[in-house]
A = this chain, B = another copy of it.
């Protein structure tokens, strides 16, 4: 849709026509199905993360999210369990055969996080942390690059270009809402960018409606909307006790809400003729 010369290259469909597929041990992302990544905002303790992983596994989820190093606006907020959190997350994921995605906040932490994670996430505040992007371009694991909360599509693609140009072509883009004047929702989910990205780039696009809206009741409709917009999947926050969560409780789904979401996602995926990547589809639907 744009004719002017683009400043990015490796991330573009002109460079590579076919969709990039992210291969995990237990599934794929970007191969034409709808992926569902779920889990708590933060790993809080052994009971919490094992309970959640068990539930997600039963629902057919393949990838669990969970923060161990948490970038918090205030230095006085809960900062995550750090390495202990990574260990717990890995143990729980292994027990229930899940892949792990978790955030890496700094070049010094790449090796540690890469030891426990299957996908390394770059958070919205670090989208233009170029040393971190360069560091991640040298590892042999997929990277999920969240959109900066005030980044244009072009800047986002150029941030991805940093990773690809450094040698790592396993990049997933994640739209998580942008900052606007509207404060009725936490951020403004920019779904219009999703089909535009899919036409311009070969990289898979995931949408995070939990971070974007900040209200758990908005997660279901916006997840379905994300699928319709052409996303390769969604990433949602789920908690066994949202009201007791140490962070982001207001936007975390209850288990029952997740079950309803899964059922609706199946119907929405059908509209587009895409399979929903929840292993136990037969059981659920």
Contact = CB atoms under 8 A, between A and B. Distances in A.
A109 B162 CA distance: 19
Interface stretch (A94-102, A138-146, A173-181): A173-181
A73 B128 contact: yes
Interface in A161-210: 161-162, 165-166, 177-185, 188-196, 199, 209
Interface residues of A, number: 72
Contacts of A27: none
A224 interface: yes
A16 interface: no
A158 interface: yes
Interface string A255-285: 0000000001001101100000000000000
21 contacts: A75-B166, A106-B129, A108-B131, A109-B131, A125-B129, A150-B150, A152-B181, A152-B182, A153-B182, A178-B181, A180-B180, A180-B181, A180-B190, A181-B181, A182-B190, A191-B225, A192-B222, A221-B229, A228-B228, A228-B268, A267-B271
A73 B8 CA distance: 10
A263 B44 CA distance: 46
A92 to B, nearest CB: 25
Given A149-B150, A224-B229, 13 more contacts: A73-B128, A75-B130, A106-B132, A107-B108, A152-B183, A183-B183, A188-B188, A191-B225, A192-B209, A192-B213, A196-B215, A224-B271, A228-B228
A72 B128 CA distance: 9
A74 interface: yes
